Structure 1
Amino acid sequence: MSIFDRLRKKSITQFDNAYLTAHRFTDGKGFPPSYIDFATHLGWGRLCGLFLIYVPLGQHPDSWTIRSPCIKQAMDSFYEEMEHDPFLLEPDGYEGIEQSLVPFATSENGEYLVWDLAHRSSDDELPIYVLAARMGGIRYGAPNLYDFVERCENDEAVKSMLGPGYAKLPLIFEPLPLER
């Protein structure tokens, strides 16, 4: 049983399963297994009382297919405008990371959760990084979404991922309605 089975309390929002299984990134592979597990067990909603995890929802405004490209475009424009300032990659980013980041979630405090497509693991997971609010830094989150969620409920780990102003987050999931 995954951590997402424990969070499932209500019926999930209908997601676009065909897109979830058929989509391929530039590396020729699909979504990470932990994200697929999340989408199929939980769907669209708020995770740990803070993160809006975008899943494929067709043409709905909160669909991964709509939000991820929009966020990625803003990220690319920001990093280009800032002329790839190395300060913006601290504390855990590396030169060129911004080019391989794929957003999949946002926090209600302005952080983005992104996958690093350049470092897919042998089990097809993508490492998760946290872009600070206003893209003012990059912190390593976890090797996959399972570990990210588990780290959210650990006081020291959440500070490492999100910054010293955070305390551990509740292990909850709130399905959100698909309103337009």
Structure 2
Amino acid sequence: MEIQVVSKSSSLGDAQELNAIRILGHQLPASYRKFSAAFGYGRLGGLVIIYSGDPIHPDSVIIQGGRVKSFIDESISEDYFEFRPASDERRIGNLYPFAASENGEYFAWDLNSGEEGEYLIYCIGARMAGLRYAARSLDELFDKLCGDSIRGVMGPGYKPLPRTFEGL
């Protein structure tokens, strides 16, 4: 994964701490741990904010991810999550967010899926407007977002993102 670093993050994840973190009893995916230790908290392609791996950072995978997870759970219980395209309530209940676009989409792992230390990644539409399969790992997600496959992940109105990372 080639990424031009525009600016460094002030919040790099500690490799040992990242290995110890559990999300609802599940270890963080290998690609996220590697990314967080190398790049930290920041914005990919000028659009997608990857949550910090530092558990006490206010925009961390623990704190912000947990906050967004509660929004997802509420949208299911209050019946305003749109279960199209290609989504079902069981899968949505297993999702745990780790990133968000500045346009309101969320990227989340399906904690009950995947293999080889990874979880399948889904894109949740802005305002909980549907769910799309995105990738098998963070590396594959970045490749898709920075290529023509972005339209299949985020929708037809998107163009490939630049391969840049801006630390926050």
TM-score when scaled to structure 1? 0.85
User: Is the counterpart of residue 158 in structure 1 residue 150 in structure 2?
Assistant: yes
Unmatched tracts of structure 1, length 5 or more: none
Amino acid of the structure 1 residue aligned with 2:66: P
* Partner Cα separation in structure 2 for residue 114 and residue 25 of structure 1: 12
Alignment CA distance shift 1:80-1:12 (3 Å) = same
Amino acid of the structure 2 residue aligned with 1:119: S
Q: Which runs of 4+ in 1 moved over 6 A?
A: none
1:37 Cα shift? 1.2
Map 1:17-166 to 2 at 5 A: 17=14, 18-26=16-24, 28-82=25-79, 88-121=82-115, 123-155=116-148, 157-166=149-158
Contact 1:15 1:58 in 2 (8 A): no
* Partner Cα separation in structure 2 for residue 56 and residue 175 of structure 1: 13
Structure 1 counterpart SS, 2:34? helix
Question: Percent identity between the aligned chains?
Answer: 36
**In the TM superposition, what whole-angstrom CA distance separates every residue of 1:137-177 from its partner, at most 9, and x where no partner exists?**
0001011110010011222x11000001111111110011x
Give the structure, 1 or 2, with the largest relative contact order (CA under 8 Å, sep 6 or more). Answer: 2
* Partner Cα separation in structure 2 for residue 53 and residue 124 of structure 1: 19
Structure 2 counterpart SS, 1:119? coil
Contact 2:11 2:52 in 1 (8 A): no
**In the TM superposition, what whole-angstrom CA distance separates every residue of 1:86-106 from its partner, at most 9, and x where no partner exists?**
xx2222323411110000011
**In the TM superposition, what whole-angstrom CA distance separates every residue of 1:28-67 from its partner, at most 9, and x where no partner exists?**
5411111111101100110111111002224332122210
1:119 Cα shift? 0.6
User: Is the counterpart of residue 168 in structure 1 residue 168 in structure 2?
Assistant: no
Larger radius of gyration: 1
More strand by share: 2
How many residue pairs were aligned?
A: 167
TM-score when scaled to structure 2? 0.90
